[in-house]
Amino acid sequence: MNLGEWFVGEHRVTLDAEGRLLLPSPLRALLNPSREERSFMASLEPEGCLAVRAPEQWEAEVRRLRASASHPLSSRRASLLLTANSARARLDRQGRLRVPDALLAKAGVERHSESRREVVIAGNFDELRLWSPGIWRTFEAEARAAYAADLALLWGSTEAPETAPGAS
């Protein structure tokens, strides 16, 4: 991906009968799947979603996790949980992403259940996050409530954030 080309937005898709997600056209345009099939790594995240990363982003996450091993027990626990709940995902030339069923189920998505086939794809700059709609709604509500404070913390502000009228 080139500078300025980021995965952004919220997109709703449905798993097909083979368990594939047809990526929306803005996401397909960034990945250009017609060129070749591509491999990604999908991993269960603490929020209950799946992060889908290019191999180089996955390797950077693994290096970062291993470098921060200041607490051996928590590092081993986190590493084991991350790797046990990760798998390769494939993007075919038609722009369909295939994540293994077992991993999708851990995020609350199941292709064999009509009521659990919907997926929310949220762009997260250089990765995609796959959510069940219910988990996404809960996360989004909690994140909105903390949005101003979280941004202030990220930007290094020491002032109390202001909240827009009617926002909560």
> What homologous superfamily is domain 10-132 in, according to CATH?
Transcriptional regulator MraZ domain (3.40.1550.20)
Q: How confident is the model at residue 161 (pLDDT cuts 50, 70, 90)?
A: low
Where along the chain do its domains lie?
A: 10-132
The per-residue pLDDT for range 53-64, each reduced to its tens digit, is 999 999 998 888
DSSP string, 55-96: HHHHHHHHHHHHHTTTSHHHHHHHHHHHHHTEEEEEE-TTSE
pLDDT at position 3 over 50? no
The residue among 34, 41, 45 whose CA lies nearest residue 96 is 34
Q: What is the mean pLDDT of residues 79-99?
A: 95
Of all residues in the chain, what percent carry a pLDDT higher than 70? 90
pLDDT at position 95 over 70? yes
- The reported pTM is 0.87
Q: Which residues of 136-153 are buried (b: 16+ CB within 10 A; e: fewer)?
A: beebeeeeeeeebeeeee
- Taking residue 23's Cβ as centre, other Cβ atoms within 10 Å add up to 23
pLDDT at position 94 over 80? yes
| C-alpha distances in Å from residue 158, one per residue of 31, 74, 144, 149, 152 | 39, 30, 20, 10, 7
